[in-house]
Each structure stands twice: as structure tokens, then as C-alpha cells.
Amino acid sequence: MSRRVLALPLIALLGLSGPALADTLLIERTQETPAAAPVRGQTAADVEARFGAPQQKLEPRGGQKRQWPVIQRWVYPGFTVYFETSRVIDVVINKASAEEIGPKPPIR
């Protein structure tokens, strides 16, 4: 009986406490990010015309023994664009900082 008496005020105090502060997860930030990013199917020329030259063009990957397509990767400040034969196949939001929780950055 005494445990219940002690537990009720503790539960009430926990309910009154404010929301816990936590790190922003990358997935939460991507859900808040506006649609100001390239879309699947756009050409590399369209992407460069709209967003300017990328900060970095990474080495192409693929196109080896198994006849995989060559994948180009362009890095912009907020996102990385993946191209297959000069068409956008995916856009990945970059981490805002090293402390942000999310996937590891691409291998360069």
C-alpha cells in the first residue's frame, strides 16, 4: 500500500515535467525539409541550371564486371544527387553537423 502512495505523486510529477530535449534526428529534419531539391528523372543539365554547380563531383561508381550502370554523385550544401546516365535517380539529404544522428556520409 505504501508503494502506491509513493508512486502516485512520482507519476504526477513526471506528467507535469516539460518535454525532454533530444538531438534532432536526420530523418526528422528530412521530413521538415522543403521540396527544394532535384526530383527523380531530371537531367544533370536541369539540376545544374537550377541549383548551380555542385560543391563537389565525386568519382563515378559502377560500370564494372557485372555491367552495372555508372552512378555519378554531386554534392550540394544540403543534399547529394545521384545520377544514372545523366538522370536523377535519388537525392539524399546531407547531415547538418557531425553530431546529427543519421546514416554515415557517402564514401568519397
Q: Which residue has the higher pLDDT, 90 or 4?
A: 90
Which residue, chain included where needed, has cell 528530412?
Answer: 30
Domain extents in the chain: 22-108
Q: What is the pLDDT of residue 36?
A: 80
Q: What is the mean pLDDT of residues 5-9?
A: 64
* 27-47: burial string, b at 16+ Cβ within 10 Å, e else: eeeeeeeeeebbeeebebeeb
State the distance between the two ends of the chain, measured CA to CA, in whole angstroms: 62
Interatomic CA distance for residues 20 and 87, integer angstroms: 43
Q: What is the pLDDT of residue 33?
A: 47
Q: What is the pLDDT of residue 51?
A: 93
Backbone angles phi, psi at 106, to 5 degrees: -65, 150
CATH number 3.40.1350 given to 22-108: no
Q: Which residue has the higher pLDDT, 88 or 19?
A: 88
HSE-up of residue 21 (Cα within 13 Å, Cβ side):
0
Interatomic CA distance for residues 85 and 92, integer angstroms: 18
pLDDT in tens, 46-105: 999 999 999 999 998 887 766 788 899 999 988 999 999 899 999 988 876 667 666 555
Give the DSSP letter of residue 53: S
